[in-house]
Amino acid sequence: MENFKEISLDDAIQLINENNSVLKDDLIDELNGFYEVAGKIVLYPRETNLENLTVGNDIVLVNGDLNVTNIIEDCYQVDSSMLIVLGNVNCKSLITLSSMYLMGDLNAANVILGDSLCDHVLNVGGNIVTKTILDYGHCIIAYKKITVTDVFSFNSIEDENGAIEQNMESEELVDEITEIDDDEKMKDLGKTIDYIKSGGEIFKVA
């Protein structure tokens, strides 16, 4: 496993400025706010390869590409969290309930699930490529192109060409992942998360 170390807020900001991404200014503003709560930043100093990545109270900064064999998940045992990657991200599935800034491309082979009660954003400086996006109340932004087969969206997904419209209705979601109440609200987010973590890959009724 790649070693990581704690760094100061100033050191983190210096690395972000050196990266000079389109996301830089917004990221630094949000980083300052998160740091007041978390008080700790852990740095993976180079390209990083992991089986899984779970982000909790500590702000996680990867100075390079991040390659995760299985799942990237945030907001572990906390109300909000922050992941910053100064390169490309490759994973099987991504589950985000809080704030992520990914400077390069995001390739999630299986699914991207986002839900923060519309409070947080998945910001991607490059392209997003995935099979399924499940937006249960999140904001997903790619500054280049989003390539996706199936989209279910409660809130906002957009790329350089504008909004990405959903092409899956709630009644098309497989029973294994969710229940929708009479007001078209999610009843059990945990059901979808458990399904993804158990290796589920089918989200749309055939």
pLDDT one-digit tens code per residue, 53-97: 999 999 999 999 999 999 999 999 999 999 999 999 999 999 999
Burial string for 110-130 (b: 16+ CB within 10 Å, else e) reads bbbbbbbeeebbbbbbbbbbb
- Residue in 103, 149, 150, 109 with CA at minimum distance from that of residue 122: 103
pLDDT over 90 at 183, yes or no: no
Is 173 a member of any domain? no
Is 84 a member of any domain? yes
Share of the chain above pLDDT 70, in %: 96
Calpha distance 63→45 (Å, rounded):
5
Is 192 a member of any domain? no
Is 112 a member of any domain? yes
Instruction: Give the model's pLDDT for residue 1.
Output: 46
Is 204 a member of any domain? no
Calpha distance 64→86 (Å, rounded):
5
Instruction: Give the model's pLDDT for residue 111.
Output: 98
- pTM of whole model > 0.75? yes
Instruction: Give the model's pLDDT for residue 39.
Output: 85
| Overall domain count for the chain | 1
Is 154 a member of any domain? yes
pLDDT over 80 at 185, yes or no: no
pLDDT tens for residues 157-166? 999 999 999 9
Is 76 a member of any domain? yes
pLDDT tens for residues 124-143? 999 999 999 999 999 999 99
Is 174 a member of any domain? no
- Residue in 55, 57, 87, 85 with CA at minimum distance from that of residue 71: 55
pLDDT over 90 at 201, yes or no: yes
Give the pLDDT band of residue 182 (cuts 50, 70, 90). low
pLDDT tens for residues 89-110? 999 999 999 999 999 999 999 9
Torsional class of 109: left (φ above 0), alpha (ψ -120 to 50), beta (otherwise): alpha
For residue 48, what are the domain limits?
5-165
